[in-house]
Structure 1
Amino acid sequence: MSMLDLSKHILSVGKEKGVTNLQMQKVMYFAIKDYLNKNGLDKFINEVYDEPFETWQYGPVVPELYYRYSKNGSMAINDKGVYSEDYSSMDASIKKHLNENVFKLVEKSHEESFWQEHQGEAQQRQEYSLKDIMGD
């Protein structure tokens, strides 16, 4: 289990409509946040979260995955993904966030205290811990 596997799962769940890189990043973030708020810091999410989000201009981004899928630009990622039962407990959250406007998700991610605290004038990227994602 890994963030890469979660990204492939999200691509699979969203394959009918297509998923952009920006959308995948925000859906991953909010699906993990929803999972944490429901289940807490359990073994599953600790295993999945092997590549941290960083504070980027458009909200939380996993750099390795951003660069992996960046060749698609703002178009849907040309990968149908791989559905995994391991992540099925996140499907409702994934589907909910896939149906939201991606720029509303960006705005919502900018309301998170960790992003606000680390996006000052210096614009230095900071890594999120799972506790940071859980929020207050």
Structure 2
Amino acid sequence: MDACREIKNFLSSTNLIMLTSFDDEDEVYESILAGASGYVLKEIDSQHLIQTIETVAAGKSALDPSITDKVLKNIRKNAAEKEGLSQLTSQEKQILSLIAKGRTNREIAVTMILSEKTIRNYVSLILEKLNLHNRTEAAAYALQHHPERLKH
């Protein structure tokens, strides 16, 4: 990764291919952010390697097919998770944020000047909208999806 960054810093128009044994998504993303235009696994056969080199030399990007599938699944998952959060009203986001801070329904009710029963109803709606099963999952979801997005 460091070598890729250094090459791109000095020769920004150079197209780089990462040839690696790592099929981890994080490695792929880090390579892309470092400036790589291609990412292939060492098991690649010579014909596909030549195709990849030609593709990248032509200014296009190339990913190993097995990695492409993982990346696309991750993108879909992230999009679905963002969509879930966007379904919440500002009040529901505020309640979710308070759940993530470990507040009880009673504490949330006092903070928001609502009844505890109303908060229970909101929590049920939030769980349903996000397809979660309990408060613990809701708290984990909130923390995982950037608490700053939950500000009202």
Structure 1 or 2, whichever has the larger Rg, is 2
Instruction: With the length of structure 2 as denominator, give the TM-score of the two structures.
Output: 0.22
Instruction: With the length of structure 1 as denominator, give the TM-score of the two structures.
Output: 0.24
Select the structure that is richer in helix. 2
Bigger relative contact order (CA 8 A; separation at least 6): 1
